Structure 1
Amino acid sequence: MEAISSVQNPRIKAWKKLQKKRERDRSDLFLVEGEHLVEEALKASVKVKVIIIREDRDIPKRWLVEDVELVYVTERVMAELAETETPQGMIAVCEKPAAENILFESGRYLLLDRIQDPGNLGSMLRTAEAAGLEGVIFGEGCADPFNGKVVRSTQGAIFYIDVQQMDLHDAVDRCRENGVPVFGTSLNGSTFSAIEPQESFALLMGNEGAGVEPGLLEKTDQNLYIPIYGEAESLNVGAAAGILIYHLRGD
């Protein structure tokens, strides 16, 4: 068991770099902050390599951490590593889960086109996992799903659903080839309530301001919209995804 008291410690500097996407991609590691999320990571199939604990805290006795390195740090060091304003005193260094090869032969999927807000992205991942979707596909221009704010917004859902990045045109083509209907989101589409629930589907959600790329909308089986009855111009993309996912899922 190691104790670290300096923010200049090489291990602290290395872990601090994991706040950047480039380093997460290079190392295949990411940070999980907060006791609840660390516990969820331990319960899931995620490989937890190190748990960093503020010196006034301790590991709950119910946790199984025999194969996990424990490192105690001072309050100042914890503040250096934490991304939240009021750190909870616990951070885990985890390996990114290996992405499964999604075949798109059947199932329910969420396809994301340039979703840039980490909070929206985390909310959509949380909804997708809660609704039992098989996977979430990230196109170019999306926020990193292993960004700290995204991970916190999922409340642990990211540990239980397959996420991977691929070209959305390829994903849509593969869905169509395998008979999985693809539904886009567009103001020029049909009211979503006119569509029956689907045994399999791929739902394509687009950028918060620009929507789905027009070239992708041309490839879908049908494009849907959610009516607005009040004075708001539009729904938050995370809220819209939740409505559509659960409608298309049906039961």
Structure 2
Amino acid sequence: MEELQSAKNVRVKEWKKLLTKKGRDQSGKYMLEGAHLVEEALKTNEIVEIMVQHNFTAIKIEQLREFPVTLISAEISQSISATETPQGIFAVCKKRDVGLDLAIHRKLLLLDGVQDPGNIGTMIRTADAAGIDAVIFGEGTGDLYNPKVLRSAQGSHFHLKVVGGKLSEWIKQLKAADIPVYGSAIENGEPFINVPSSDSFALIVGNEGAGVDSAILRQTDKNLYIPLYGQSESLNVAVAAGILLYHLQKPI
């Protein structure tokens, strides 16, 4: 098993590039960090290589034998980590190549210009928990493979489809597939409680400050709002998405 000690090694420099969107886009790869995310990745065929710090014990080395494994020093672990206190295990994975079949994937969450990585990851994780089939990243939405998004999603990006594209084009396809499309609106919408749960639906949530683009809201079947009973002017977008997804999801 190969061992690396110096953070100046050329391979370490390549790993560090994966902390940037440009590096991920150019290589078609991304990096996971931490025991839980690596364990989730082990269930897939997407791992390229694994890097483990010498004193890491949360996952037995024997579990990693079928993958290329490199032992790394604490110095390297710190240099390639996106956190202040790295756990000491990393995996380089291939970017996911997924497609949607709207005859099968009929419960969807669409993100319109959502930028905060924590919100994006939380919504992927919430969509996974709520039994949603797919998340669509519209234009202006952050990068799925941002380390903060991946940490917030906690491996849920492996459990459902995540794709990108222009939401206006997706809305046309959703309507052609007889999937109701709901926007989320702060005002001038319908109380969400009035809309029944269903086996198929698409929910659009928007940018943290601006909400869903008005042009997108004009293309939906209905726009839903969540009544606010206290003095707060709005809900966090991830919280609002969770409320709406669980309401729209038909109990199994």
TM-score normalised over the length of structure 2 = 0.95
Cα pair distance change 1:193/1:63, threshold 3 Å: farther
SS at match of 1:60: coil
SS at match of 2:119: helix
Partner of 2:89: 90
Deviation digits for residues 190-243 of structure 1 (CA, Å, limit 9, x no counterpart): 000011111100000000000001111001000000011111111000000000
Q: CA contact under 8 A between 1:53 and 1:73: conserved in structure 2?
A: yes
Partner of 2:31: 31
Q: CA contact under 8 A between 1:39 and 1:63: conserved in structure 2?
A: no
C-alpha displacement of 1:2: 1.1
C-alpha distance in 2, partners of 1:65/1:86? Answer: 23
Q: CA contact under 8 A between 2:34 and 2:90: conserved in structure 1?
A: yes
C-alpha displacement of 1:63: 6.0
Q: How does 1:124-139 map to 2 (within 5 A)?
A: 124-139=123-138
2:79 counterpart letter in structure 1 = E
Partner of 1:141: 140
Q: CA contact under 8 A between 1:46 and 1:159: conserved in structure 2?
A: no
**How many aligned residue pairs are there?**
249
Cα pair distance change 1:62/1:108, threshold 3 Å: farther
C-alpha distance in 2, partners of 1:148/1:63? Answer: 26
C-alpha distance in 1, partners of 2:177/2:159? Answer: 25
SS at match of 1:123: helix
Runs of 4+ more than 4 Å apart: none
Deviation digits for residues 59-104 of structure 1 (CA, Å, limit 9, x no counterpart): 733864233111111111110000111111111111112112x132
1:70 counterpart letter in structure 2 = V
Kindly report the root-mean-square deviation, in angstroms, between the aligned alpha carbons of the 2 structures: 1.4
Unaligned runs of at least 5 residues, structure 1: none
Q: How does 1:219-234 map to 2 (within 5 A)?
A: 219-234=219-234
Q: How does 1:143-162 map to 2 (within 5 A)?
A: 143-162=142-161
C-alpha distance in 1, partners of 2:153/2:167? Answer: 22
Partner of 2:53: 54
C-alpha distance in 2, partners of 1:62/1:145? Answer: 28
C-alpha distance in 2, partners of 1:234/1:41? Answer: 36
Q: CA contact under 8 A between 1:105 and 1:175: conserved in structure 2?
A: no
SS at match of 1:50: strand
SS at match of 1:112: strand
Percent of matched pairs sharing the same residue: 44
Deviation digits for residues 153-212 of structure 1 (CA, Å, limit 9, x no counterpart): 011111111101111000001111111000001121000001111110000000000000
C-alpha distance in 1, partners of 2:240/2:45? Answer: 29
Deviation digits for residues 90-135 of structure 1 (CA, Å, limit 9, x no counterpart): 11111112112x1323510011100100000000000111111111
TM-score normalised over the length of structure 1 = 0.96
Cα pair distance change 1:46/1:231, threshold 3 Å: farther
Partner of 2:247: 247
2:208 counterpart letter in structure 1 = E
SS at match of 2:124: helix
Unaligned runs of at least 5 residues, structure 2: none
